[in-house]
């Protein structure tokens, strides 16, 4: 899974030579997260294989693809938009109707990275479902990296990041300007409990979940671990709860207990009913 | 779809124009707000205008106010693309009727994401 030290040194060296970006030790998670999509795109098994392929053809285009992957930040607020449309129009109204007596909703973002996903979701909840203000909302957001988690907690974003996918009316409503940067307002930050969870290891106690965001994270694991994680999700998800995977991810051939919901490019799943 | 790119920098008009043309927009350019209003009179309502703030003759904020006074342009999406980054300016533009706001410098991805947010169906 994790990049080995020699391959990390190799990647660091070419990124430094080609674009003067210094990847210090401790940034292994970043190399992992940026290069795994390329590994899959190239139909390789691991970053080790990717490095081997570059070494065997140093003038090939793969080296450029690595540079591009390492220097392009794909994270944005309301990323891919369709899952958030589905949440707004279909899933949240349904869950709110079903839970209206108990007035409790449990949400977990399992790969929060630099925080854009949990904050997008919390903005959606606050802006479009004000009735939830009186509910007991348990909202966890986790990541494997302590560094990323600290970023999430701070809720501070650069001007470049704030320009990515965030509707201006929501920026005005839920952010404050701090010098040249922008910070999520405190009341929103307080709504989320940030924690470190390594998905491939034992999970801490998490209450049964109504809504689980696990987008673009299964791709980093091998088939056995994907099955393992989906098995644990199955036990954690309430019978009428929903799971969101990346639009290009699937439970097919991994866990037959899930069914994909027919919402446009949303990667929305639930447990098979009945 | 048709779009108006309003910026006093020819280089910025070129870059934004290229992004929009790649998305199959027909692009009309103007160097300031007054010229943009003239272009609009000739073209009739368009789908979109990308609007700089600080320009000679008529600035982008004044252009947004003028366009929003005229009901025939009510469905036209207006997005500020500007170096103005104060929160007060963003609020002022939105209250005047801008639909979206991008702070320079921008990338193609930023523009595309914002166009999608405004509900434009892109190729």
Stated as kind and residue range, the H or E segment containing B96 is helix B87-96
Which of the residue ranges A34-43, A49-58, A172-181, B32-41 would you say has the lowest mean pLDDT?
A: A34-43
Size of interface A-B (CB pairs under 8 A): 41
User: Does the structure show a pLDDT above 90 at A129?
Assistant: yes
Instruction: Extract the runs of DSSP E, i.e. beta strands, from A89-245.
Output: 104-109, 136-143, 156-157, 175-178, 181-184, 193-196, 209-213, 237-244
Which among A264, A265, A270, A234 is positioned nearest to A94, based on CA atoms? A270
A24-34, pLDDT tens digit by residue?
777 787 788 78
Which of the residue ranges A53-67, B63-77, B78-92 would you say has the lowest mean pLDDT?
A: A53-67
Residue B23 Cα, gap to closest chain A Cα (Å): 17
- Comparing CB atoms, the residue among A160, A167, A177 nearest residue B87 is A177
pLDDT score recorded for residue A73: 55
Which of the residue ranges A98-107, A109-118, B68-77 would you say has the lowest mean pLDDT?
A: A109-118
Secondary structure (3-state) at A255: coil
Contact B87, B63 (CB under 8 A): no
Architecture of domain B2-116 in this structure: 3-Layer(aba) Sandwich (3.40)
Share of chain B above pLDDT 70, in %: 100
User: Does the structure show a pLDDT above 80 at B53?
Assistant: yes
Asked if B113 lies within 8 A of A165 by C-beta distance, the reply is yes
Please state, rounded to an integer, the average pLDDT across all residues of chain B. Answer: 95
pLDDT score recorded for residue A160: 82
Q: What is the mean pLDDT of residues B71-86?
A: 95
- Comparing CB atoms, the residue among A81, A162, A176 nearest residue B116 is A81
Asked if A168 lies within 8 A of B86 by C-beta distance, the reply is no
Asked if A159 lies within 8 A of B87 by C-beta distance, the reply is no
Which of the residue ranges A12-21, A88-97, A166-175, A219-228 would you say has the lowest mean pLDDT?
A: A12-21
Every domain of chain B and the residues it spans: 2-116
- Comparing CB atoms, the residue among A76, A160, A172 nearest residue B113 is A76
Q: What is the mean pLDDT of residues A155-170?
A: 92
Share of chain A above pLDDT 90, in %: 59
Secondary structure (3-state) at B30: strand
**What is the rounded (10 degree) CA torsion for A203, A205, A210, A212?**
-20
């Amino acid at each position: 899974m994790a990049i080995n030290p020699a391959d990390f040194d190799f990647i660091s060296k070419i990124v430094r030579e080609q674009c003067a970006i210094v990847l210090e030790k401790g940034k292994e998670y970043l190399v992992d997260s940026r290069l795994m999509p390329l590994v899959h795109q190239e139909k390789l098994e691991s970053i080790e294989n990717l490095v081997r392929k570059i070494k065997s053809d140093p003038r090939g285009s793969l080296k450029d693809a690595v540079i591009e992957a390492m220097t392009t930040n794909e994270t944005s607020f309301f990323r891919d938009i369709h899952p958030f449309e589905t949440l707004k129009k279909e899933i949240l109204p349904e869950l709110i109707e079903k839970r209206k007596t108990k007035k409790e909703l449990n949400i977990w973002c399992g790969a929060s990275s630099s925080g854009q996903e949990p904050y997008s979701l919390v903005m959606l909840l606050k802006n479009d479902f004000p009735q939830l203000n009186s509910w007991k909302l348990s909202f966890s957001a986790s990541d494997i990296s302590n560094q990323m988690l600290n970023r999430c907690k701070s809720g501070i974003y650069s001007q470049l990041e704030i320009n990515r996918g965030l509707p201006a009316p929501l920026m005005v409503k839920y952010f404050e300007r701090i010098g040249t940067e922008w910070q999520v307002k405190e009341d929103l930050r307080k709504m989320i409990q940030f924690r470190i969870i390594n998905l491939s290891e034992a999970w801490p106690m998490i209450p049964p979940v109504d809504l689980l965001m696990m987008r673009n994270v299964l791709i980093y694991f091998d088939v056995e671990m994907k099955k393992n994680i989906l098995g644990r999700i199955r036990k954690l998800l309430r019978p009428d709860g929903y799971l969101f995977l990346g639009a290009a991810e699937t439970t097919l051939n991994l866990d037959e207990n899930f069914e994909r919901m027919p919402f446009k490019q949303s990667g929305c799943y639930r447990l098979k009913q009945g | 779809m048709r779009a108006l790119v309003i910026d006093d920098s020819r280089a910025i008009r070129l870059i934004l124009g290229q992004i929009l043309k790649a998305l199959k927009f027909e692009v009309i350019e103007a160097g300031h707000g007054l010229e943009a209003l003239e272009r609009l009179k000739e073209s009739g309502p368009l789908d979109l205008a990308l609007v700089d703030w600080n320009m000679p003759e008529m600035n982008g904020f004044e252009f947004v106010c003028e366009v929003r006074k005229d009901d025939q342009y009510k469905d036209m999406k207006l997005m500020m693309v500007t170096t103005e980054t104060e929160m007060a300016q963003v609020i002022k533009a939105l209250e005047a009727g801008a639909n979206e706001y991008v702070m320079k410098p921008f990338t193609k991805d930023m523009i595309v994401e914002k166009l999608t947010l405004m509900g434009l169906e892109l190729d």
